[in-house]
Amino acid sequence: MSDILSFLQDHQSEMEETLLRLVEAESPSTNKELTDQCGIVLQKEFERLVGGKAEIIPQERVGNQYCFTYGTGEEQEQILIIAHYDTVWSQGALPIKKENGILYGPGTFDMKGGLTTTLWALKALKEFNIFGKRKVVFFVSSDEEVGSLFSRETIEKLAKDSSMVYVPESSISPDAAVKTSRKGVGWFTINISGVTGHAGIDPWAGASAIEELALQIVEMKKLADKEKGISVNVGLIEGGSRPNVIAKHAHAEVDVRFTAKEQAYELEREFQNLTPFLNGTTVEVSGGINRYPLERNAEVIMLYEQLKEIAAGHGYELKEGSSGGASDGNFTAGLGIPTIDGLGPQGAGAHSDDEHVVLANLPYRAALLAEALKKNI
């Protein structure tokens, strides 16, 4: 067994304490005051366990964000770890309980488990005095669950100086596979104007925005391709005013998912080119690509192979998988920086009532990241 893994296993109960402190400091993205308190807990844990530079990036609307640095590094390029400490849970919505070696509670799996293993991975590197030519930058945002509006710029800026990115987001259940691909996502809004009229007196004179929208929906759905992993979901529609009035307005909101960057460009073009079928109506499209996909390219496979080898040394097989959901890893992957995601500990139930983490897995996940960093710094 590796020294790093046995060190971490010896400290499992302390790792559990770190995790519990973070989980007890509830941090719904939408409550700045509360979230900031969790940020302070996080900063204290970093300073206590790792030491080093902790830069606070103050925020007005969401919780403050943190940029922690491990090592000094002579080289310009760094290794980046991105995470978030906000959760989808409002205060008190989900009870915290420990049962049979499992911790249940808000954010345990998404992603305070990953915060814990990252802090302890850095702690282990420091313990063994492992420093390299590159520094490790650990960025923690506070608004990932609400779209990363106030962190995207920082993430992209940090990514440009990084040779690789590790994302300790929740793993794939049940066997804690890492994510070597994630779909990209786009959001489009379709606004349709028609010509109103009396449905009884002059039914043929108007142009119904609702009828036009119905035709557009059929058209948009043609862009979906199950084989290629492209999906189109018209998730919201509204329009019209009364049954006896020809609809003047209709509106739809659409979520598209895709697996390759070229598909994103193509979809964007197709949406922009939607044209009306009915005389007298107009179709206006806004929105676009929100996150490019994390594609399973040669560099990602290399990062995965490296992790797999480390895991084999720890006596288990590390699996890989893909996710239809997006994370901040999509931003860094979108810039062409090799990114591997889903490095968080074993567990399940992100955003659901049984959210939990398997505590015995914490040392393994921390050791996995620590040894990957050791190889690459």
Least Å distance, CB 26 to Zn ion, is 15
Ranges within 169-188 binding Zn ion (CB under 5 A): 169
- Among positions 257-286, residues that touch Zn ion (CB under 5 A) are none
82 binds Zn ion (CB under 5 A): no
CA–CA separation, 28 and 87 (whole Å):
5
Q: Does 111 bind Zn ion (CB under 5 A)?
A: yes
Task: Compute the distance between CA of residue 115 and CA of residue 84 in angstroms, rounded to an integer.
Answer: 8
Name which of 19 and 267 has its Cβ closer to Zn ion: 19
Is 251 in contact with 189 (CB distance < 8 Å)?
yes
Q: Is 88 in the site for Zn ion (CB under 5 A)?
A: no
8 A C-beta contact, residue 126 and residue 375: no
Q: Which of 26, 110, 212, 341 binds Zn ion (CB under 5 A)?
A: 110
Question: 196 or 361, CB closer to Zn ion?
Answer: 361
Residues paired with residue 166 on neighbouring β-strands, in sequence order: 81, 340
Can you give the length of the chain in residues?
377
Nearer to Zn ion, 329 or 338 (CB): 329
Q: Which one of 20-28, 30-38, 106-114, 340-348 is the stretch in contact with Zn ion (CB under 5 A)?
A: 106-114
Least separation in angstroms between CB 18 and Zn ion: 18
Q: Which stretch binds Zn ion (CB under 5 A): 13-21, 110-118, 160-168, 172-180?
A: 110-118
Residue 22 within binding range of Zn ion, rule CB under 5 A: no
Instruction: Give residues with Cβ within 8 angstroms of 310, minimum separation 6.
Output: 318, 367, 368, 371, 372, 375
Rounded Cα distance between 330 and 334, Å, is 6
Least distance (Å) between residue 39 CB and Zn ion: 16
Of 111 and 264, CB closest to Zn ion: 111
Query: 3-state class of 98 per DSSP?
Result: strand
Q: How far is the CB of 258 from Zn ion (least distance, A)?
A: 21
Residue in the shown chain whose Cβ atom is closest to Zn ion: 110
**Applying CB under 5 A, does 343 fall inside the site for Zn ion?**
no
Only segment of 111-119, 220-228, 269-277, 365-373 that touches Zn ion (CB under 5 A): 111-119
Rounded Cα distance between 81 and 87, Å, is 18
Find all residues with CB under 8 Å of 221, minimum gap 6, and list them: 232, 234
Side-chain-facing half-sphere of 290: CA atoms under 13 Å: 20
Q: Within 10 Å of residue 146's Cβ, how many Cβ atoms?
A: 15
The residues binding Zn ion (CB under 5 A) are 110-111, 169
